[in-house]
Amino acid sequence: MDLYDIATAPSPERVMSDIETLVNFGTRHTASDASSDGRGIGAARRWIFAEFEQISKNCGGCLELMYIGETIEGERRVPDPVEIVSVLAIQRGDLDPDRMVLMSGDIDSRVSDVMNASSDSPGANDNASGVAGVLEAARVLSQYKFDGSIVYAALAGEEQGLIGGRIVAAHALKQGWQIKAVLNNDMISNISGIDGVIDNSVARVFSEGTRAVETDEEARARRFTGGEVDSPSRNLARYIDAMADRYMTNLNVEMVYRLDRFGRGGHHRPFNAVGIPGVRIMETHEHYDRQHQDLRVEDGREYGDTLDGVNAPYAAKLTALNAITMAGIAGAPPFPREVKASGAVRASATLSWSPGGDEKARKNLAGYRVWWRKTTAPQWTHSRFVGNVGEWEFTNLVIDNYFFGVSAVATDGSETPVVFPGPAGAF
């Protein structure tokens, strides 16, 4: 597996074709017609399922396809009964199939009135682009084999309150899926901002910090390990940034230390809420005239999320960012467990951990890499590969001044995100 090849494999033409197809369903509002073959949310999800079927056929049946949904009613944005149905395809890993990384985009679209299910709502950038990215990532990565599993998800009901993500997250927990990372792609095709900036070289990655609700044990661990300023989602964001620097040309990741934008939400949030690390990947310069707007022209100003706001090469570039990240995580060994740091009132710090997974899952484990950085450093600054051991002493490194972590490394160099000590950093 060559991650440089994966980084250049996504096709702008295929991505644009998928966006156009989704736009041509007229509206994909959650409460729109589900029975029509040519218009509405039902036609859109059936087309997505059929695309996954074709992708699976091309890789010899390598994808498990499923609809996951519930009938929802009595909520603020869903007062009457509506089926909220997401489409998932799972590419099972060879050695550790229950360990997963998930990429998502949102099927549904909306206009100015979130309850308007009948007006045309193209949703070209928000969020046909994210679904197109998921489909294209599946086309690329289904040509490879990985130790862990990859989940490609087109989630429903995002605009009505992140409902599809909530349903899928609950399903994942019930099924025992060990989702180690969620990459939520929400608006990945616009390069022209309302601020006048045109930029196709930067992507934002939003990641939450410490969760507001935690146990006493988690609070203690947070105080002593660096969790007061960090989280597994933050380390996932750092991993994405590092992958971009290593394997991609002309793409900079801007890490944003927030769950999401002010007053806005995304489909990584329901996964974060149940303890699954997740981030939002999106454009940097948004154009608000093209988001959640009725199609119209006022005083010579055009409103609406139409195809002319889509930049296919940029969408393909952000799709590639997802692809190399998922390939890296799925190709890595099991994440280390029970990571602990010690070293109070002495001159050296000690980091210990236990191997994750079973012996079969660790077949390609080469060993572990320890990481450290000053408490004020936003990124990991130092690391050392220490082999297949379960403990490492940082000689003459005072624990008070640094944060520590550990990652698992495969024989081909694939590596997990860094895992923090204690419950606050457990994956």
Report yes or no: 316 and 12 within 8 Å, Cβ to Cβ: yes
Residues with Cβ within 8 Å of residue 376, at least 6 apart in sequence: none
Q: Residue for token digits 């799972």?
A: 90
- Amino acid letter, residue 332: A
CA dihedral 263, 267, 269, 271 (to 10 degrees): 170
Going residue by residue through the chain, which has 427 residues, state the pLDDT in tens, using 9 for 90 and above.
799 999 999 999 999 999 999 999 999 999 999 999 999 999 999 999 999 999 999 999 999 999 999 999 999 999 999 999 999 999 999 999 999 999 999 999 999 999 999 999 999 999 999 999 999 999 999 999 999 999 999 999 999 999 999 999 999 999 999 999 999 999 999 999 999 999 999 999 999 987 654 555 555 544 445 555 689 999 999 999 999 999 999 999 999 999 999 989 999 999 999 999 999 999 999 999 999 999 999 999 999 999 999 999 999 999 999 999 999 999 999 999 999 999 999 999 999 999 999 999 999 999 999 999 999 999 999 999 999 999 999 999 999 999 999 999 999 999 999 999 975 444 4
Query: What are the angstrom distances between the C-alpha of 3 and each of 95, 192, 366, 389?
Result: 20, 29, 19, 27
Adjacent-strand bridge partners of 232: none
**Which strand ranges, in their side-by-side order, compose the sheet holding 82-91?**
63-72, 82-91, 148-155, 96-106, 178-185, 278-283, 202-207, 252-256
Nearest CA to 179 among 95, 87, 268?
Answer: 268
Query: What are the angstrom distances between the C-alpha of 259 and each of 72, 267, 395?
Result: 26, 11, 36
Nearest CA to 403 among 253, 242, 222?
Answer: 222
Q: Give the chain's count of helices (H) and strands (E).
A: 9, 16
Q: Looking at the chain, which residues constitute the CATH 3.40.630.10 domain(s)?
A: 3-331
Q: Residue for token digits 């096709």?
A: 11
Burial string for 197-221 (b: 16+ CB within 10 Å, else e) reads eeebebbbbbbbebbeeeeeebeeb
CA distance 418 to 84: 35
Q: What is the CATH number of domain 3-331?
A: 3.40.630.10
Q: Looking at the chain, which residues constitute the CATH 2.60.40.10 domain(s)?
A: 337-420
Q: What is the CATH number of domain 337-420?
A: 2.60.40.10
In 53-201, DSSP assigns E strands to 63-72, 82-91, 96-106, 148-155, 178-185
CA distance 323 to 223: 35
Handedness of CA 264, 268, 271, 272 (dihedral sign): negative
